[in-house]
Structure 1
């Protein structure tokens, strides 16, 4: 990695107010603190350095903070993740599209977690970032920028290290790649001797991602457009991934599409009905700062078959099926895949577990055909499980017998793109 060292040094020294006589010791202290960000100085063998990073995940349904503690040894290129402190707040920043100051308040609240986790003497050396995903990508540009500017202002006021482009909207391709890096780092597959890796399936509120390392060249050669292929170099190894992010196919936006509530005027005055909802159900539902009137169809039919037909329209012709997807990778599925599997009683909420694709479809049938038993606690469970089953089978093309690893955490670390984004910063990945 070759970061802009002079810029980082000027920023840090300017913030710390050091005099000329103190510069030399400060430089040594700085290099020891953030390890691989700066060139190695001469130090004893087996010397280890501890450094920190603060990453905000600004998703469509919530804002999460990850505070990472790393240990870097001179003897290895990969740092060791010693600890993660995680906390989240709902709703997402996009809910404050017309009130950006509220977004700033959310970030200030979460920064308290960072202050309690990172030693005070390390604050000025600890970089802080916010990466926004589909929630802000779906907003009008001017509203998204107003939210980002408010976050930037809060970061500048904070005691942490603010670098160039520390507050940005992340594109969907990078989201998938960085999630892949996170999971393969945590499962021990990210090194130069990699023979086997794990694929990732991430289902957020606004978008969904699939990323894996193909074994067959034809998988790369048969993609619809080159946007489905990404390459990056890390630790002297080049990875060529199949990866794509489908904006608008996250679970919450899929609800809107299923209900027929995407776009249009006067949405607050309409009642959106669906056979995926209990017949006697009627309530308000909010997403992205907009409140919708939703209900079942009291005069029509409800159940899995009609729901599947409605959901299939949201997936068919949109999701590409890779040439190679079966038996090429173990796939880890997280975010709403995990949450809905827990809610449906398919896996343990702490340990996670393995499921076959058909398990989502089977439970969807049970829930949808007996919605009278789920009128209050989980009115959207039929729709959500049906969408997941449809997305996996009719969308990506997984066989019903395909086994997925459902997880929320790996080695006590949140399964998400956030760790990969942090590693990207420290190792300056070239993703293209």
Structure 2
């Protein structure tokens, strides 16, 4: 059954972008295959008005476009989100920090998908919006602005409707809050009739977020600084959330920190070693527009214990443990939590599933301790699984028995911050 949304939300959803899927496609493939990726619409015979919307999610590891189709029927009060077309390109915009015109080219290529999906007569009524996350937050301000300016130029020359503030960098804290709003809206918990909500764990490339509604006031009273608490009003209810965004603790940034490469000099000649990598592994790895020489430690030892000691330095004294992480407070984990669980064979790649924290730990041990005998599908899988385990246990303080809901979509809608960002844009939630 397709999700429905109230009339008020028709415009709200019309600029939302709900993303995080990891579809690896080159610019050339995109150009060649546009026709084959377009969705087929399933419109009811009595439809009277069709709306479209285009949203870009500019993440640290990729740029994603969503083209949405909504239907408002003559006899029904609720419009239907009829279709969602999604596509992505790697790497993210931050990889073009020194050649911003390439960032504009990336967006221009993805806009071709929108032009193929949205009928020409609807272009001028279809809003196009881009929100950037940690990839651009990690860049120097002038380099990030140059990228945004290029995107704005591409938008302005496009035939689509360009709202005010259509190209911006999203505040890190709001990313967690708005993802919480999205997931609780999609799971039906965001109304005055329920006191039960779900928490969210979002692991991006550059940053990670935790957000939940505490049941104990002490959780709010014991935060290190007031930045960990956010209040807002929505749908006649006031919420006080525990929330924080850790810039530099996303999966890719954590790789750099584990390797000791974060902010390092002499990248052209230095080799960054780790016990988390296969001993004989040596290669180049790029993130955020920089290339690093990385390798295992051929003279030393590899394995879970040594790897855990390395990643613990990235988490210890950085991640705050909230006073309360109630087992009854279900947490939805998505983005790289989901992707690495799929890579490790812990969940189905389409359906997702429930996992205990100890499942990540057990699989991390298996992958790390057998890297030489059974090479993993990615040389970084040991490091990534160990980091996720450490982040959940020693970082946030989850018990090994805590159950997480690993998900990519809820009611056929991508799990992300974008729906919440759209609600905030129109409702002015006064987050503070």
Same fold (TM over 0.5): yes
How far apart, in 1, do the equivalents of 2:370 and 2:144 lie? 41
- Residues 3-60 of structure 1 deviation map (CA, whole Å, 9 limit, x = unaligned): xxxxxxxxxxxxxxxxxxxxxxxxxxxx9996579xxxxxxxxx99654332211010
The answer on 1:307 being equivalent to 2:307 is: yes
Task: Identify the residue that residue 267 of structure 1 maps to in structure 2.
Answer: 267
Task: Identify the residue that residue 369 of structure 1 maps to in structure 2.
Answer: 369
The answer on 1:178 being equivalent to 2:178 is: yes
Local SS of the residue matching 1:256 = helix
Q: Mapping of 1:249-398 within 5 angstroms?
A: 249-375=249-375, 377-398=377-398
Task: Identify the residue that residue 248 of structure 2 maps to in structure 1.
Answer: 248
CA distance 1:33–1:377, shift in 2 (3 Å): closer
- The more displaced of 81-90 and 93-102 is 81-90
Local SS of the residue matching 1:264 = coil
How far apart, in 2, do the equivalents of 1:331 and 1:205 lie? 20
How far apart, in 2, do the equivalents of 1:278 and 1:35 lie? 50
Structure 1 contact 210–243 (Cα < 8 Å) conserved:
yes
- Residues 123-160 of structure 1 deviation map (CA, whole Å, 9 limit, x = unaligned): 22222111111100010111000000000001111111
How far apart, in 2, do the equivalents of 1:36 and 1:104 lie? 26
* Structure 1 residue ranges without an equivalent (≥5): 1-30, 38-46
- The more displaced of 333-342 and 177-186 is 177-186
Task: Identify the residue that residue 192 of structure 2 maps to in structure 1.
Answer: 192
Higher relative contact order (CA 8 A, sep 6+): 2
Task: Identify the residue that residue 8 of structure 1 maps to in structure 2.
Answer: none
Number of aligned residue pairs: 393
**What is the CA distance between 1:239 and its match in structure 2?**
1.6
More helix per residue: 1
The answer on 1:231 being equivalent to 2:231 is: yes
CA distance 1:380–1:36, shift in 2 (3 Å): closer
CA distance 1:79–1:305, shift in 2 (3 Å): farther
Structure 1 contact 214–328 (Cα < 8 Å) conserved:
no
Task: Identify the residue that residue 214 of structure 2 maps to in structure 1.
Answer: 214
TM-score by length of 1: 0.86
The answer on 1:415 being equivalent to 2:428 is: no
Local SS of the residue matching 2:366 = helix
How far apart, in 1, do the equivalents of 2:232 and 2:77 lie? 17
Local SS of the residue matching 1:268 = coil
- Residues 243-284 of structure 1 deviation map (CA, whole Å, 9 limit, x = unaligned): 100000000010000000011311221001110011111111
How far apart, in 1, do the equivalents of 2:218 and 2:52 lie? 41
How far apart, in 2, do the equivalents of 1:201 and 1:422 lie? 20
How far apart, in 2, do the equivalents of 1:305 and 1:205 lie? 24
Local SS of the residue matching 1:254 = helix
CA distance 1:117–1:264, shift in 2 (3 Å): same
- Residues 82-112 of structure 1 deviation map (CA, whole Å, 9 limit, x = unaligned): 4322111100000000111110111111112
Structure 2 contact 12–423 (Cα < 8 Å) conserved:
no
Structure 1 contact 33–125 (Cα < 8 Å) conserved:
no
CA distance 1:36–1:405, shift in 2 (3 Å): closer
Structure 1 contact 53–422 (Cα < 8 Å) conserved:
no
Q: Mapping of 1:62-81 within 5 angstroms?
A: 62-70=62-70, 81=81
How far apart, in 2, do the equivalents of 1:286 and 1:115 lie? 32
CA distance 1:428–1:214, shift in 2 (3 Å): same
CA distance 1:410–1:196, shift in 2 (3 Å): same
Structure 1 contact 361–386 (Cα < 8 Å) conserved:
yes
**What is the CA distance between 1:73 and its match in structure 2?**
9.1
Structure 2 contact 10–70 (Cα < 8 Å) conserved:
no
How far apart, in 2, do the equivalents of 1:332 and 1:32 lie? 27
- Residues 344-375 of structure 1 deviation map (CA, whole Å, 9 limit, x = unaligned): 11011011111000000000000100001444
* Structure 2 residue ranges without an equivalent (≥5): 1-6, 14-46
